[in-house]
Amino acid sequence: MSDANIELGDIHWLMDILQNIDVGLVVLDRQYDIQLWNGFMESHSGLSPQVARGENLFSLFPEIPQDWFTKKAEPVFELKTRTFTIWEQRPYLFRFKNYRPITGRASVMYQNTSIIPLQSIDRQVNHICLIVYDVTDIAVSRADAETALQSLTERNRTDLLTGLLNRPYWLQEATREYARCQRSVHPSTLVLFEIDDFRQINVLHGHPAGDHLLKTLADGLLQTLRRTDQVCRYDGETFAALLVDTDEEEAGVFAQRIHELSSVVNQSGLPAGVSCTLSLGIARFQQDFSDSAAWIQAAETALMQARQEGGNRICIHQP
Amino acid sequence: MNTQTQPVVDLNEDQRDCYQELTNVAMGQAADRLARLLDAYVVLPIPKVNLIEANDLRMAIQEVEDESAMSAVCQGFIGSGIAGEALLLFNDTSFHDLSTLMNYPGELDRFAEMELLMDVSSLLIGACIQGIGEQLEIHFNQGHPVILGQHCKVEDLLKPGNHQWTKTLAIEIHYTLEHVNIDCDLLLLFTEDSVIKLNDKINYLLD
């Protein structure tokens, strides 16, 4: 590192490299006064080395918290060791604006920095060098990846036609809730419901009319749900709701609200001649259900009973 | 990439002693510096020098995942063609004690914990690597630290076949501080080809 064989002429091009390298280099003395300010720093801050040199870092850049920065820098002076800051802990040290109008998608430059000790001839560290790396692209790609992952996760659990949860995800939730109920004194309730004579609607008015009905009903549902209610499109025209911490009575109120939804749906511009009524089956959690499938089966039995009694009604599973 | 046979990593007793001695000296220097900065007595451990397999590493990382998501920091280093990565595992460390020690005022939220991890790991890893480098006359450059669980998914590190090596040199240092609840392991892992170069340097010292 400390090559004694660098000649004066060489210093000229070494300085050229310092000026042109695409990382920020700042040399600070013991008082945090700026001693060196390279081309990168000049370009992004708009301050020439003549202006920056001799100025105090903290008065020139009030956005750098002095306490925080000296905590990182003092060990470099004291222990001659390197310290680092990364954009995850503080997005930037110097507030440099985005400088690429086309490909730059962040408003500021994200920065990683290294602080390294500079030893003088007597092996004392009276200066430190601050190296500033532009990591905006990394930060932006990380954010992109997270957004993509989130939307994938969302998509993975959604029924595309209705926007409700899909069956596989809901079944997972039901299994989890079954396990929770076994340990809890607040039991939950399942409600299964379906549109009466849906096949008839499909046959008489075509699938687009059926789809429109499903979607209108789902939209109404989404407006009626509480935050903790988990509703999925269970199968074709059948829906399933998992009502957490809800007893039979409260579930009855919920079921009543859903039952009444059909009249709202009927007034919402369905194709002429199409009307819908709903049948619902309610099953409260019972300790003697052997698994979540048994619980769902109980709700299905209640639903089947509602259907057999002519539809357009609510039935409760009798253990 | 060529498909040459992997370098065979080997370690004899003399070499092991030499690595241990080297680390001891480095630790001594590091402990001295830390004691001055933190005003706390660092209990000096006897470092363990071993050849470890990728599986052992996975087990160490697994513990991180089991315990909590935010308690391990990795930092790469390289100098004179010798490269490796340091892994600092905080086992039974109280962030509260750590913050008192490092003189951090204020509430300990997720960000404050990250700051602490970053600062403490800079000190512990930096001091040790520097100490070893000085004795071997290698100037090690360090990359930016990575917090496991936050920056990279621990489960990704755990997948078998993700590590390109089978057996390599590991130096393990167990740090404890007196009177405070701080207990951590520093693991220095060298790449396979670095071990051969390092062994050459060590042999030179042994001669």
Over residues A69-110, the pLDDT tens digits come to: 998 999 899 888 899 999 988 999 999 988 888 887 888 999
Over residues A262-282, the pLDDT tens digits come to: 888 887 777 777 778 899 999
pLDDT at res. A318: 86
Please provide the size of chain B in residues.
Answer: 207
Chain A hits for B34, CB-CB cut-off 8 Å, are 79
Does the CB of B150 have a partner CB in chain A at under 8 Å? Answer: yes
Chain A hits for B145, CB-CB cut-off 8 Å, are 84, 86
Res. A3 pLDDT band, cuts 50 70 90: low
Minimal-distance CA residue of chain B relative to A132: B144
Q: Which of B120, B125, B130, B144 to mutate to test the interface with A (most CBs of A within 10 A)?
A: B144
- Between A265 and A213, whose confidence is greater? A213
CA distance A180 to chain B (A): 22
pLDDT at res. A44: 94
Least confident of A224-228, A286-290, B91-95: B91-95
Radius of gyration of chain A (CA): 34
Least confident of A32-46, A169-183, A296-310, B83-97: B83-97
Does the CB of A75 have a partner CB in chain B at under 8 Å? Answer: yes
Residue A240 · residue A296 · CB < 8 Å:
yes
Domains of chain A are 8-143 (3.30.450.20), 157-316 (3.30.70.270)
Domain that holds residue B80: 13-206
DSSP character for B143? -
In a domain, B112, yes or no: yes
Chain A hits for B150, CB-CB cut-off 8 Å, are 88
Nearest to B171 by CA among B131, B203, B139, B143: B131
Query: Phi, psi at residue A133, to the nearest 5°?
Result: -105, 135
Contact: A89, B144; criterion CB under 8 Å? no
The pairs formed by A210-217 with CB atoms below 8 angstroms and a separation of 24 or more are: A210/A237, A211/A161, A212/A270, A212/A271, A213/A265, A213/A270, A213/A274, A213/A276, A214/A161, A214/A162, A215/A161, A215/A162, A216/A265, A216/A268, A216/A270, A217/A162, A217/A261, A217/A262, A217/A265, A217/A276
In a domain, B26, yes or no: yes
Contact: A78, B36; criterion CB under 8 Å? yes
Mean pLDDT of A19-42: 95
Contact: A83, B111; criterion CB under 8 Å? no
* Angle subtended by helix axes B110-136 and A66-79, to nearest 10: 20
* Residue ranges, chain B, pLDDT below 70: 1-8, 63-70, 91-93, 149-162
Does the CB of A146 have a partner CB in chain B at under 8 Å? Answer: no
In a domain, B2, yes or no: no
Does the CB of B37 have a partner CB in chain A at under 8 Å? Answer: yes
pLDDT at res. B44: 75
Query: Phi, psi at residue B161, to the nearest 5°?
Result: 85, -5
pLDDT at res. B159: 67
Chain A hits for B130, CB-CB cut-off 8 Å, are 80-81
Does the CB of A204 have a partner CB in chain B at under 8 Å? Answer: no
Chain A hits for B78, CB-CB cut-off 8 Å, are none
pLDDT at res. A1: 46
DSSP character for B14? H
Give the whole-number percent of chain A exceeding pLDDT 90. Answer: 56
Task: Please report where in the chains the tokens 């076949």 appear, as a residue.
Answer: B161
Give the whole-number percent of chain A exceeding pLDDT 70. Answer: 98
**CATH number of the domain residue B42 falls in:** 3.40.1550.10
Over residues A70-79, the pLDDT tens digits come to: 989 998 998 8
pTM to 2 decimals? 0.74
In a domain, B77, yes or no: yes
pLDDT at res. B76: 93
Contact: B33, A88; criterion CB under 8 Å? no
Chain A hits for B113, CB-CB cut-off 8 Å, are none
Chain B hits for A114, CB-CB cut-off 8 Å, are 142, 144
Domain count along chain B: 1
Q: Which of B37, B115, B151 comes nearest A78 by C-beta?
A: B37
Does the CB of A129 have a partner CB in chain B at under 8 Å? Answer: no
Does the CB of B80 have a partner CB in chain A at under 8 Å? Answer: no
Please provide the size of chain A in residues.
Answer: 319
pLDDT for residue A175 is more than 60: yes
pLDDT at res. B52: 85
Mean pLDDT of A145-174: 92
Q: Which of A72, A84, A133 comes nearest B145 by C-beta?
A: A84
Q: Which of A68, A80, A88 comes nearest B150 by C-beta?
A: A88
Query: Phi, psi at residue A216, to the nearest 5°?
Result: -65, -40
Does the CB of A65 have a partner CB in chain B at under 8 Å? Answer: no
Rounded CA-CA distance A171/A234 in Å is 9
Contact: B144, A80; criterion CB under 8 Å? no
Rounded CA-CA distance B204/B207 in Å is 5
Does the CB of A78 have a partner CB in chain B at under 8 Å? Answer: yes
Contact: B33, A112; criterion CB under 8 Å? no
B158's enclosing H/E stretch is helix B154-158
pLDDT for residue A40 is more than 70: yes
Contact: B122, A81; criterion CB under 8 Å? yes
Minimal-distance CA residue of chain A relative to B150: A88
ipTM: 0.80
